[in-house]
Amino acid sequence: MWFTLDNLATAHDTHEGAAHSSTGLSNVKLGMWLFLGTECLLFGGLISTYMLYRGRVGTGPRPSQVFDIPFTSVSSFVLLMSSLTMVLAVSAAHKRDDRSTNLWLVITALLGTTFVGGQVYEFTAFYNEGMGFSTSLFSSSFFVLTGFHGVHVTVGIIMLLALRGMLKNNKVPGSRSETVEMIGLYWHFVDIVWIIIFTLIYLIPA
Amino acid sequence: MAIIERPVSLEVQPLIVVAPATPSSAMGAVKRPVVTKGWRQWVFTVDHKKLGLMYMATAMFFFLVGGIEAVLIRLQLALPDGKILNADLYNQMFTMHATTMVFLFVMPMAAGFANYFIPLQIGARDVAFPRINAFGFWALLFGGLFINLSWFLGGAADGGWFMYAPNSGPIFSPSHGVDFWTFGLQIAGIASLTGAINLIVTVLNMRAPGMKLMRMPIFTWMILVVQFLLAFAVPVITVALFLLSFQRNFGATFFDVAAGADPLLWQHLFWIFGHPEVYILILPSFGIISEVLPVFSRKPLFGYPFVVFSGAAIGFVGWGVWAHHMFASGLGPVSVAVFSISTMAIAVPTGVKIVNWTLTLWGGKLWFTTAMKFSIGLIVLFTIGGLSGVTHAVAPSDTQQTDTYYIVAHFHYVLFGGAVLGLFSGFYYWWPKMFGKMLNEKLGTWNFWFMVVGMNLTFGPMHILGLQGQPRRMYQWTENRAGEGFFNLGFWNLIASIGSLVLVVGVFLFLVNIYITARNGKVAPLDPWGARSLEWMTSNPPKEHNFDSIPTVHHLDEFFHRKYAEDANGQMQQVATAEQVLKQLEDNADAHIHMPSPSYWPIILAFGLPVTCLGLIYSIPLAIFGGLIILMGTFGWALEPSTAPDSDFDPPSSGDTSKDVVHVG
Amino acid sequence: MNTTSATDSHATEHGLSTIGYVRIALILAAITGLEVSTYYVDFGRLFLPALLIMMVIKFVMVVSYFMHLKFDNKVFSWLFYTGLFLAVGVYCAALATFKFFG
């Protein structure tokens, strides 16, 4: 890594003052990618906990008894498509097309809300089938993992809507397109975590 | 300090800071703070130097708290059938002693040094995210106070600093102590994580022109490694702490054997974090003494690249050794063998460092200042601790040592003999830089010897106690089971307790030294030690904006190379004084310097965290209120630009910001 | 702020066109369909490896194209993949000590 960075630093030397950073890269973007790197260790820990405990159901239902694969497949698909709409929002923001940016941001937030709504429905259904938070090690670790993911999606929705409001009122400090891009990175990360959860937790039986 | 808009001063003397900004518009809800005097200049500051000092003051406060806890522990064990603490209070005391020293003293103290000196060492005017920096400090302070709040609300955490199940569960720990501990560490963890991201981006992105990575001072390098460790280790403990909270507060059974859980899960998560944490504690001190030793040996650091790469190697291999804390837990022979070997391997890069330091001293013109004494003390005492550490790597011998005082002896040699002596070396070395006055060297020498003698008296006998089988965390011992002759537990326990009092005198002398220096200390010359790195290329204490013009770096040890050059015979000759070097920077001063502006939001956002956590323990409405504070803080933050707009300056800035530091935090 | 102008032009230079993004999304949707089909059709011994490979492909595609990592500076990849591989490494090792994999 340092070799890449040093080459950049040398390039920077030759035209001093052209860029404000040693690498020519944006602070926020470096910080965001690093943050996403650290989030891997957070979700990794939660997924490992689930993997360890998925078979320990006690007297409660087994995973295969409660999971509704067709339903979750649809909500997974919805989240996946929200990544497409998000990337279109970022693309529009780079082209300074405010109308499209706003539109795609709202659609992304709506798709995200659909996903979270589906999760609320799923949790309620599980609860009604006798799988509460503290029923078994399986249920606790399942709810903690998917709950954390759901909170991440919810935070993402709030950011998307707040961003839309700020864009509309011209209140975004700093670069508009970069702000959209950063929230986009976060949103995609939440999506890739779900790609893993969908396979490891739902599709592969305990 | 607020925004600086000033005519360029050509004198060496402190320049006059003129007319801070007047916020013309309310960004979001309220206008940004502008006061540059009194308490408000500290509470709303985003200046890395002020935040660094606040980190250090906070850490010093918790050092004293943790020290008092340690003394109470030693007084309890000084004589048979100790009566000073009861068993319950004793459990709380050692748990909080360790928690305080690790999370609230060594880590924040290192963070303080890092905050203060990283931007100076890389030739920057501030950090990459100044408001996040301020937030990190406040979160740490509130988190630390939150943990200690439990003393007054039914008792502190009492499960030991690694809080193994079942001791962490409600049956063995019914008070709210563990809840306060869990949430408080969570808050401190947020502080560490944000701080790590901030400092990594700062080091990668804010270096002065020409400051390539392999020209960075070793302290900056070691802090960079530490921040990577923090960034990736903190989320792991976050997971563990969340699981524990859900178990204690919401009925989950993650670590409850009766419910079929694997209590080893906690141990794994804790030590996957905990072992990198060990290097998080020691590497900053390694960095400090790697700055101090060359300066007082009048030689460059021996094998700079080896010191850098061994530091990075320690950081990397540090991820593959965690299970050596769990040899006694029945991991199975394969796991034990693997982790045993990787643990022995990590001694190699550490040994490389010790060799490099020793060879830096070799043939140098040694100048035994207090800072130098502390650094040499670190080399010797850390090596002793490192060697007893290697004996833990041997699994069969470790099985005997686990949970005895031998372990306590080991980690106090590496932590006190290593980390703490390094930090004290840093105090004496950088005090003139931070405060413009020299700490008293004579008193410093007494300070050093009392601490070194005290620490050896305290922790040396613990090797013997441990090998004799005195268990760690034992709250009383009885005369008739203390043994005979040389190995009499009573004798060595008494020596250790006397040693802890000697240590107290040592630390007290340091506080006296601070007081005396503040009252009538010698004013520091510009370059008191003949230093080598960039942080000395500015006034003492540094200006608000650190450097009048950002230096272009051509060498490792840039400051030294500006003062000295090779003559015809290949000898280094002084070509300029420090004053001349500084004058040159001042003559080329930048015309407009916009510093990041103070903000209300970091402290408001950080304050929301303990309120929320208090609510989670006692009443959900309070937690919701705390959540609203966090939400408000976030929005206020998001709507406020980190540097005030041009119209806010007085007189309004021309908008020509081509030379300004621009922040996007 | 100022630092971002460079990245702005950079991203539009190297990012995909709208059609390109839709195409990626269609591939992702197709793989998801294939994944779901494993629930209905018996893949035998291929079941586990096939699912894991499809998961990795989807992951890498979103990261590389939607998150622009493929077109961006290598430093970003370093930061992210360090965290990812560290996570995979330590957690797999920890699970291995629980005899999870066999």
pLDDT tens digits for range C66-76: 998 888 889 99
Average pLDDT, chain B: 88
pLDDT tens digits for range B234-283: 999 999 999 999 999 888 999 988 888 998 999 999 999 999 999 999 99
Tell whether the model's pLDDT for residue B489 goes beyond 60.
yes
Mean pLDDT within B427-447: 95
Position B15 confidence tier, pLDDT thresholds 50, 70, 90: very low
B232 with C83: Cβ contact below 8 A: yes
Which residue in the set C2, C86, C97 is minimally distant from B319, CB to CB?
C86
Identify residues of B whose CB sits under 8 angstroms from chain C CBs. Answer: 204, 228, 231-232, 236, 262, 264, 268-269, 272, 319-320, 322-323, 331-332, 335, 643, 657, 662-664
Instruction: Map residue B2 onto helix, strand or coil.
Output: coil
Q: Which residues of A touch C74 (CB under 8 A)?
A: 1, 4
Which residue in the set B201, B212, B239 is minimally distant from A42, CB to CB?
B239
Specify the pLDDT at position B337: 92
pLDDT tens digits for range B161-198: 999 988 898 888 889 999 999 999 999 999 999 999 99
Which residue in the set A33, A38, A94 is minimally distant from C11, CB to CB?
A94
CA distance C17 to C15: 7
Position A12 confidence tier, pLDDT thresholds 50, 70, 90: very low
Specify the pLDDT at position C12: 44
Mean pLDDT within B413-421: 95
Q: Which residues of A touch C1 (CB under 8 A)?
A: 174-175
Q: Which string of DSSP letters, residue by residue, matches chain C? A: -TTHHHHHHHHHHHSPPHHHHHHHHHHHHHHHHHHHHHHHS--GGGHHHHHHHHHHHHHHHIIIIIT-TTTS-HHHHHHHHHHHHHHHHHHHHHHHHTTTT-
Tell whether the model's pLDDT for residue A98 goes beyond 70.
yes
Q: Which residues of B touch C96 (CB under 8 A)?
A: 335
Tell whether the model's pLDDT for residue B335 goes beyond 70.
yes
Interface residue of C3, C40, C53, C63 to substitute, partner A, most A CBs within 10 Å: C3
pLDDT tens digits for range B52-80: 999 999 999 999 999 999 999 999 999 99
Tell whether the model's pLDDT for residue B507 goes beyond 90.
yes
- Nearest-neighbour CA in chain C from A178: distance (Å): 7
Domains in chain A (CATH in brackets) are 26-203 (1.20.120.80)
pLDDT tens digits for range A19-71: 467 788 888 999 999 999 999 999 999 999 999 999 898 888 999 889 999 99
Whether B103 is in a domain gets the answer no
Q: Are residues B549 and B510 in the same domain?
A: no
Look at chain B and report how many structural domains it folds into. 2
Is any Cβ of chain C less than 8 angstroms from the Cβ of A23? yes
Helices and strands in chain B: count of H runs, count of E runs: 20, 4
Q: Are residues B453 and B575 in the same domain?
A: no
Q: Are residues B534 and B502 in the same domain?
A: no
- Residue B422 is which amino acid? G
Interface residue of C7, C17, C34, C60 to substitute, partner A, most A CBs within 10 Å: C7
- Nearest-neighbour CA in chain A from C1: distance (Å): 5
Q: Are residues B409 and B340 in the same domain?
A: yes
- Nearest-neighbour CA in chain A from B274: distance (Å): 14
Specify the pLDDT at position B276: 94
- Nearest-neighbour CA in chain A from B268: distance (Å): 10
Which residue in the set B197, B206, B210 is minimally distant from A21, CB to CB?
B206
Is any Cβ of chain C less than 8 angstroms from the Cβ of A36? yes
Tell me which DSSP letter residue B257 carries.
G
CATH code of the domain containing B439: 1.20.210.10
Tell whether the model's pLDDT for residue A115 goes beyond 90.
yes
Specify the pLDDT at position C67: 92
Q: Are residues B506 and B562 in the same domain?
A: no
CA distance C43 to C50: 9
Instruction: Map residue B402 onto helix, strand or coil.
Output: coil
pLDDT tens digits for range B115-124: 999 999 999 9
Tell whether the model's pLDDT for residue B225 goes beyond 50.
yes
Specify the pLDDT at position B407: 95
Average pLDDT, chain A: 87
CA distance B549 to A55: 63
Q: Which of B561, B578, B599 is the last residue of a domain?
A: B599
Tell whether the model's pLDDT for residue B654 goes beyond 80.
no
Q: Are strands B522-523 and B437-438 parallel, antiparallel or unpaired?
A: antiparallel
Residue ranges making up the domain that contains B2: 1-44+525-599
CA distance C65 to A87: 9
Position A112 confidence tier, pLDDT thresholds 50, 70, 90: very high
Q: Residue-wise over B502-535: b if at least 16 C-beta within 10 A, else e?
A: bbbebbebbeebbeebeeebeebebbbbbbbbbb
Q: Are residues B293 and B352 in the same domain?
A: yes
Half-sphere exposure of B335 (CA within 13 A, CB side): 21
Whether B307 is in a domain gets the answer no
CA distance B508 to B453: 14
Nearest CA-CA partner of A155 in A125, A121, A112: A112
Average pLDDT, chain C: 84
Q: Are residues B472 and B453 in the same domain?
A: yes
CA distance B5 to A47: 52
Specify the pLDDT at position A18: 31
Nearest CA-CA partner of A43 in A151, A159, A183: A151
Specify the pLDDT at position A157: 95
For B128, the closest chain C residue by CA position comes to C3
A52 with C98: Cβ contact below 8 A: yes
Q: Which of B561, B580, B599 is the last residue of a domain?
A: B599
Is any Cβ of chain B less than 8 angstroms from the Cβ of A114? no
Whether B65 is in a domain gets the answer no
**Chain C, window 60-79: residues with a beta carbon less than 8 angstroms from a chain A beta carbon:** 62-63, 65-67, 73-76, 78-79
- Nearest-neighbour CA in chain C from A132: distance (Å): 25
C62 with A191: Cβ contact below 8 A: yes
pLDDT greater at residue B379 or residue A14: B379
Share of chain B above pLDDT 90, in %: 70
Is any Cβ of chain C less than 8 angstroms from the Cβ of A158? no
Using a 10 angstrom Cβ sphere, with 0-12 exposed, 13-18 middle and 19 or more buried, the burial of residue B93 is: buried
Q: Are residues B505 and B529 in the same domain?
A: no
CA distance B445 to B303: 29
Asked which of B199-203, B275-279, B535-539, B658-662 is least confident by mean pLDDT, the reply is B658-662
Share of chain B above pLDDT 70, in %: 91
Which residue in the set A5, A20, A52 is minimally distant from B262, CB to CB?
A52
Whether B23 is in a domain gets the answer yes
Tell whether the model's pLDDT for residue B6 goes beyond 80.
no
Specify the pLDDT at position B484: 81
Neighbours of chain B (3+ CB pairs under 8 A): A, C
Q: Are residues B414 and B547 in the same domain?
A: no
Specify the pLDDT at position C9: 38
Q: Are residues B470 and B538 in the same domain?
A: no
pLDDT tens digits for range B601-630: 999 999 999 999 999 999 999 999 999 999
Q: Are residues B392 and B452 in the same domain?
A: yes
Tell whether the model's pLDDT for residue A73 goes beyond 80.
yes
Is any Cβ of chain A less than 8 angstroms from the Cβ of C43? no
Is any Cβ of chain C less than 8 angstroms from the Cβ of A22? no
Q: Which residues of A touch C39 (CB under 8 A)?
A: 69, 73, 203
Which residue in the set C83, C96, C98 is minimally distant from B262, CB to CB?
C98
Is any Cβ of chain B less than 8 angstroms from the Cβ of C18? no
Specify the pLDDT at position B656: 39
C39 with A4: Cβ contact below 8 A: no
Neighbours of chain C (3+ CB pairs under 8 A): A, B
**Chain B, window 40-59: residues with a beta carbon less than 8 angstroms from a chain A beta carbon:** none
Which residue in the set A4, A26, A81 is minimally distant from C3, CB to CB?
A26
**Chain C, window 37-76: residues with a beta carbon less than 8 angstroms from a chain B beta carbon:** 75
Q: Which residues of A touch C91 (CB under 8 A)?
A: 44-45, 47-48
Mean pLDDT within C59-84: 92
CA distance A99 to A89: 10
Size of interface A-C (CB pairs under 8 A): 161
**Chain A, window 5-44: residues with a beta carbon less than 8 angstroms from a chain B beta carbon:** 5-6, 9-10, 12-13, 16-17, 20-23, 25-28, 30-31, 34-35, 37-39, 41-42
Position C99 confidence tier, pLDDT thresholds 50, 70, 90: confident
Tell whether the model's pLDDT for residue B148 goes beyond 70.
yes
Asked which of A90-94, A201-205, B1-5, C84-88 is least confident by mean pLDDT, the reply is B1-5
CA distance B490 to B370: 35
C95 with A52: Cβ contact below 8 A: yes
Which residue in the set C1, C75, C90 is minimally distant from B664, CB to CB?
C1
C52 with A178: Cβ contact below 8 A: no
For A13, the closest chain B residue by CA position comes to B209
Which residue in the set C3, C8, C78 is minimally distant from A177, CB to CB?
C8
The pair of three-digit structure tokens given for residue B324, joined into one six-digit string: 């050596």
Tell whether the model's pLDDT for residue B95 goes beyond 70.
yes
Asked which of A73-82, B381-390, B601-610, C38-47 is least confident by mean pLDDT, the reply is C38-47
Q: Which of B453, B488, B514 is the last residue of a domain?
A: B514
